[in-house]
């Protein structure tokens, strides 16, 4: 959401207060579905149903065609932006299957569980450079003293190489990294940060 702050700080402030809703893109909806199912698997089902995406699956359509435009209009009138095309849902499922069957992911998850107390989808507010900000951090790891020592952010991408070279900068993930580490007011060198990135083509990084 750091990109939203840079786009329009007024709308961002309203969003922080719950008075503005950003539209959901297809990628955002795919990501939310993958996030929920992955964290549900990771926590053995110990995740609130409040985090479950409220999405209705609809038939595939192409908005470039007349029929597709009309169908899309009907879908939006019925469901708002709380829908996902079946083809996109299948994409989400492929990511979920990849994550839950990958050996590296299992070893990484087991190591986190053995070392830390873990919370998922944790929303935090704080003041950064005089601006009230809100962050929803995917995985927050605390030590025996209940201090946050590691934040893990989960991303999906079609191209790992592009993610590392371009997406981090194009989508402001570098600023997100800094914000997620500093929003609690702790020195950033006291909090580690990992990106866990999944790609259908390249696997898990």
- Mean pLDDT score of the chain, rounded to an integer? 82
pLDDT value at position 89?
93
Tokens representing 94? Answer: 């492929």
Q: In whole angstroms, give the CA distance from residue 62 to residue 73.
A: 12
pLDDT higher than threshold 70 for residue 5: no
Q: pLDDT tens digits for 79-95?
A: 988 999 999 999 999 98
pLDDT higher than threshold 70 for residue 96: yes
Q: Given the DSSP bridges, would you call strands 148-157 and 117-128 parallel, antiparallel or unpaired?
A: unpaired
pLDDT higher than threshold 80 for residue 144: yes
Looking at the DSSP assignment, which residues form a beta bridge with residue 136? 123
Looking at the DSSP assignment, which residues form a beta bridge with residue 154? 196
Global confidence as pTM: 0.74
Mean pLDDT of 139-148: 92
pLDDT higher than threshold 90 for residue 19: no
pLDDT higher than threshold 80 for residue 171: no
């Amino acid at each position: 959401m750091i990109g939203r702050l840079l786009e329009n700080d007024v709308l961002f402030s309203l969003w922080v207060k719950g008075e503005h809703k950003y539209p959901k893109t297809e990628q955002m909806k795919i990501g939310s579905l993958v996030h929920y199912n992955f964290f549900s698997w990771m926590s053995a089902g110990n995740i609130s149903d409040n985090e479950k995406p409220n999405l209705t699956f609809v038939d595939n359509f192409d908005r470039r065609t007349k029929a597709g435009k009309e169908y899309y209009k009907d879908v939006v009138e019925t469901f708002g932006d709380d829908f996902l095309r079946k083809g996109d849902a299948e994409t989400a499922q492929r990511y979920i299957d990849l994550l839950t069957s990958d050996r590296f992911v299992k070893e990484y998850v087991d190591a986190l569980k053995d070392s830390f107390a873990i919370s998922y989808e944790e929303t935090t507010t704080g003041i950064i450079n005089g601006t009230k900000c809100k962050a929803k951090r995917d995985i927050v790891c605390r030590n025996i003293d209940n201090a946050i020592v590691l934040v893990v952010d989960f991303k999906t991408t079609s191209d790992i190489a592009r993610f590392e070279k371009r997406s981090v900068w194009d989508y402001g993930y570098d600023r997100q990294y800094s914000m997620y580490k500093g929003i609690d007011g702790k020195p950033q060198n006291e909090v580690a940060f990992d990106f866990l990135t999944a790609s259908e083509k390249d696997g898990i990084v």
